[in-house]
Structure 1
Amino acid sequence: MDSPWYISEVEILIRLLVALVLGGMIGFEREQHNHAAGFRTNILVCVGACLMMLLSIYGFSDFVNELNVRVDPARLAAAVITGVGFLGAGTILFTGKKISGLTTAASLWVVAAIGLAVGAGFYFASGAVTLMVILTLWLFNKLEQRFIRNKKSYVIHLICEDRTALMKTTQDKLKEHRATLHKLSLEDADGSRLRHVSDIDEKLIMITYFVDIERKQHDAMISLIHELKQVEGVRWIEYE
């Protein structure tokens, strides 16, 4: 049939399988790097979006010729994009050091768009975007880590005596190990932290340092923690 509102069952199956393959290709890359939305999640999003697009275009073809019915194939597609936005928000986490999951959320959004495109029959565009996404997630990630984001963030917690000289000493240690300090906080050490300290008769504070160290200098971080632990007045140390 030449009607734009008709699609064969074979073509439906082909489009769903194409969506499965393309979504799986992106999901495989995400799974390899242990991200929240991995192989199966991306497949489900892509196939689901494809099905919604097929339903939006062809699912209501029986009502096309009704006088009081207006068919709009874009309505369900718009709803899919909105729904995936909520799903992507669930992958975004704030760990205290940084916000993570933004790339995974964006990849889910693109996977949904790929599924919609496959459902509408845009095979070339869907395949091209899939390759672009994989290139962006894999190759550009390596380039970014090498030339842009070549530092790793750490949070260092110190329980120590409330002395100004001690703070200066610890910050000098950070400079010696080429750790970039971009934030610090001071607070009274709470009970849950103090259980790690044997003598709690005197007033102790907790200093939290947010630092960046070059990824290739991971040994410098271990050495820094060891030297901070040896500073007089430091009772307990932890880093993450």
Structure 2
Amino acid sequence: MNDTYLITQIGLLLRLIVAGVCGFAIGYERKSRLKEAGVRTHMIVALGAALIMIVSKYGFVDVVQLKGYVLDPSRIAAQIVSGIGFLGAGMIFVRKQAINGLTTAAGVWTTAGVGMAIGAKLYFIGVSATV
């Protein structure tokens, strides 16, 4: 292993840590309001979204270098948005003409966006959205 490789890996790990901390902060706020999705859910969503963004951006470098291959990393990001939307839909309940869980679903979806931003190295915007 050379120094550049190690520095790159530490930078990627930093992204995961920052995403996890942001997810924790969002989840803590939700838990303090006694909402359904709390600290663990939001941490996992942010961390997972950041991880998928990192894989999307850097996981296929070896394939991109081959002749005749064209990849679109944004397709993976789009799948995060769709997948989290599907999870959020499962959090929404309608009972006696009252809707519950809509804010929780939106919060989880936005937490995924925070993780995606941080995974894409957009720290300022990700942390700002968390605040």
After TM superposition, is the score higher than 0.5?
A: yes
Quote the Cα distance in structure 1 between the aligned partners of 2:73 and 2:118.
Answer: 14
C-alpha distance in structure 2 between counterparts of 1:23 and 1:84, whole Å: 14
Q: Can you give the 5+ residue segments of structure 2 that lack an aligned partner in the other structure?
A: 1-6
- Whether 2:24 is the aligned partner of 1:24: answer yes
1:97 Cα offset (Å): 5.1
Find the aligned partners of 1:13 and 1:65 in 2 and give their Cα distance: 24
Identity of aligned residues (%): 45
Give the corresponding residue for 1:34: 34
Aligned length: 125
> Cα deviations across residues 162-186 of structure 1 (Å, max 9, x unaligned)?
xxxxxxxxxxxxxxxxxxxxxxxxx
The alignment partner of 1:17 has SS state of helix
Counterpart-to-counterpart distance in 1, 2:92 and 2:30: 14
1:47, CA displacement in angstroms? 0.3
1:94 corresponds in structure 2 to: 94
User: 1:159 maps to what in 2?
Assistant: none
| Residue of structure 1 equivalent to 2:53 | 53
Task: Give the corresponding residue for 1:63.
Answer: 63
Corresponding residue of 2:4 = none
Shift, 1:126, TM fit: 0.5
Summarize the Cα distance change of 1:33–1:97 in structure 2 as closer, same or farther, 3 Å threshold. Answer: farther
TM alignment of 1:122-161, pairs within 5 A: 122-131=122-131
- Is 1:84 paired with 2:84? yes
Runs of 4+ aligned residues of structure 1 deviating over 2 Å after TM superposition are none
Distance 2:24 2:44 in 1: 9
Taking only aligned residues, the RMSD between alpha carbons, in angstroms, comes to 1.2
The structure, 1 or 2, with the larger RCO (C-alpha pairs under 8 Å, 6+ apart) is: 2
